[in-house]
Chains A and B, each alone.
Chain A
Amino acid sequence: MPTGKLAVWWVVASEIVIFGGLLASYIMHRLAHDAWAEQAAYTNTWIGATNTMVLLTSSLTAVLAHQAAEQGNGPKAAKLLWATIGGATTFVVIKAVEWSIEISHGYTITSNTFWSFYYTAAGLHALHVIAGAIIMMFVAATAKKNLELHRVELIGIYWHFVDVVWIFLFPLLYIAK
């Protein structure tokens, strides 16, 4: 296995422990406090679902970019990576609007423990989205010149992991009410 790919899988395994620990903490607190359901009722399921849709679609463009890179078509891979970056940007913009609405209604990170978890988990995830989008810009720039095409797969693995994390955050923060 190439060193870069090994490193990315190592990162993914590490991230599972980071997000896994956070989500496990959330779940045990949530199960212990029925009153959290009242707070969770204020999160907007439709905004969460829209962002899930955005990330699933960005995963599709990421895997298509990987496929284009495997076929040696760097420019096409770059275009698909930019589409993925577009998905990341859309996700972050929606999240910013959502948080603005919630904060304006008085639900801040210090409101109570549920909202502390909510902003911590979603915020940490959003930072991963932003980091992934920035890395993807560099990968797209080289891929466009048909250089370092193996990187397209590496950033793709990371991006799909970010998608998987959101797949679990969505029901935990938006559906379990």
Chain B
Amino acid sequence: MSEHAEHTPTDYVKIWAILVVLLAISVIGPMFEIRVVTLITAFGIAVVKAYLVAKNFMHITLEPKFVSYFVVTALVFMLLFFAGTAPDVMKDEGTQWQKPAWKAAAAAAAMAPAGHGSGEHH
């Protein structure tokens, strides 16, 4: 039960303070409306925050190696799911298939007056 003896309450508060600063950056960064800055400050910082929580609060690095393997395996499954289904979801046609409804919706949206996009796609 002494595995976390190296952490003092002050250490945890410092990590919390870093997380709060990162949160502030992730809110302020996208205000510049520069795509690269938004990606880095919003999503890059989310990864850093998640790592800080997993390492310092969940103490994942102090657990046996197989715990990290559990987590990484789950993340790999998520990526496999994404890679396997993204082409179907994100493209309107492939080598032997197409989505006529999508194309019709895109054509209708192109002909509609500006500002009337509903964001509705199926």
Of all chain A residues, which has the CB nearest B51?
A164
Contact B4 A66, beta carbon cutoff 8 Å: yes
Bin the interface of chain B by size: 35 or more
Contact A20 B81, beta carbon cutoff 8 Å: yes
Q: Does B9 have its Cβ within 8 Å of any Cβ on chain A? A: yes
Q: Could you tell me the distance in whole angstroms from the C-beta of A148 to the nearest C-beta in chain B?
A: 14
Given contacts A17-B74, A160-B53, A167-B49, contact A35 B118 (CB under 8 A): yes
Contact A171 B42, beta carbon cutoff 8 Å: yes
Q: Could you tell me the distance in whole angstroms from the C-beta of B106 to the nearest C-beta in chain A?
A: 10
As a 0/1 sequence over residues 15 to 56 of chain A, the CB contacts with chain B under 8 angstroms (1 = contact) are: 011001101110111011101101100000100010011001
Q: Does A138 have its Cβ within 8 Å of any Cβ on chain B? A: no
Contact A32 B77, beta carbon cutoff 8 Å: no
Q: Does A112 have its Cβ within 8 Å of any Cβ on chain B? A: yes
Bin the interface of chain A by size: 35 or more
Q: Does A13 have its Cβ within 8 Å of any Cβ on chain B? A: yes
CA distance A9 to B122 in the complex (A): 37
Given contacts A28-B82, A112-B120, A114-B119, contact A20 B74 (CB under 8 A): yes
CA distance A156 to B7 in the complex (A): 16
Identify the B interface with A (CB < 8 A): 1-2, 4, 7, 9, 12-13, 15-16, 19-20, 23, 26-27, 30, 38, 42-43, 46, 49-50, 53-54, 56-58, 63-64, 67, 70-71, 73-75, 77-79, 81-82, 85-86, 89-91, 109, 117-122
Identify the A interface with B (CB < 8 A): 1, 5, 9-10, 12-14, 16-17, 20-21, 23-25, 27-29, 31-33, 35-36, 38-39, 45, 49, 52-53, 56-57, 59-60, 62-64, 66-67, 70, 112-114, 156-157, 160-161, 163-164, 167-168, 170-171, 175-177
